[in-house]
Amino acid sequence: MELGIHCTLPFSTLRMLANLLGMLSNLKRLVVCIKIPTATTPEKAEWRLLSINNFTSECSQLLHLQELYLESPSFLKDHLHCLFRCFNTSLEVFSLTNCRFRKKILTHVFQSPCISQLKDLCLKGVPLTSVSKCLRSLLEVNASTLQHLDLGLCGLQDPQLEVLLPALSSCSQLRSFSLHGNRLSMATLEKLLSCTSGLSRLKLELYPAPLESFSPQGVLQPATFRLHCTHIIKILKDLRHSRSIVVSTGQCSSCAEKMFRNGEPIILPCKSCVRKFKKLSID
């Protein structure tokens, strides 16, 4: 059984929805894209909190849930760990997108046993700069099962990638991997290409254009970018591993949105960004 909820709800409806969820014990796939208005009075704040607590506790009763998608869940900003605290299921897919969380909350969530056998992990648009060590542990725990990993637009830079590289190279089942929209230097990209070249199942890799392709003001320098692409092709040849990667010069959040849908990875830049993607292949 699947359920997708996409709407703006008043607190009272969230509470009703929570009670309904509690009855859907066979639910396997839950997509939540709910906006809850902020409270304008202390009474409403209390009512809002109660509704959210009700929602998280009912969600955690979904014993057969395999796929959880939380899209821009700003109402769960301070409560996400509560959702995971009493979760009693082992998720195959966990997708959390476009929301900022405190380090403490993400740390709690990443340590949850219910995300220790993931096939798909998508954290697109969630700033992860302060939790790279915790993310590394999460990748290590899921290294033997993880097939799709999306870390696009997570604010990652060279030091965080240094932390993640050993864990990434141990994800032996990985089929698709996105780092689109992060700020990485050519040197780090080079290390990444080398560390992922041992992953024989990896068929789709999406990387940001190296930082050196942009002026100090952040403007793309097309000639420099082309030079870097030539350099990347050379690196791929030196690694002697037939592969094809995609490099993106954009920072768009709609891009590559369908990468992990329907089991098979598909890359789909949004219409306005098609020209910002460059495919580099060697046989």
Which spans of this chain sit near Zn ion (rule: CB under 5 A)? Answer: 252, 254-255, 270, 273
The smaller minimum CB distance to Zn ion, of residues 31 and 252, is found at 252
- Residue 143 CB, shortest distance to Zn ion, in Å, is 30
The smaller minimum CB distance to Zn ion, of residues 153 and 171, is found at 153
Residue type at 279 in one-letter notation: K
- Residue 5 CB, shortest distance to Zn ion, in Å, is 25
| Token pair 């990434």: residue | 168
The smaller minimum CB distance to Zn ion, of residues 268 and 282, is found at 268
Could you write out the DSSP letters of every residue in 210-271?
Answer: PGGGB-TTS-B-HHHHHHHHHHHHHHHHHTT--EEEEEE----SSTTTTTTTTSS------G
- Residue 52 CB, shortest distance to Zn ion, in Å, is 32
Give alpha helix (H) positions in the chain. Answer: 11-21, 42-59, 80-85, 103-110, 132-141, 158-169, 186-196, 222-238
- Residue 176 CB, shortest distance to Zn ion, in Å, is 18
Q: Are 99 and 126 in contact (CB under 8 A)?
A: yes
The smaller minimum CB distance to Zn ion, of residues 8 and 254, is found at 254
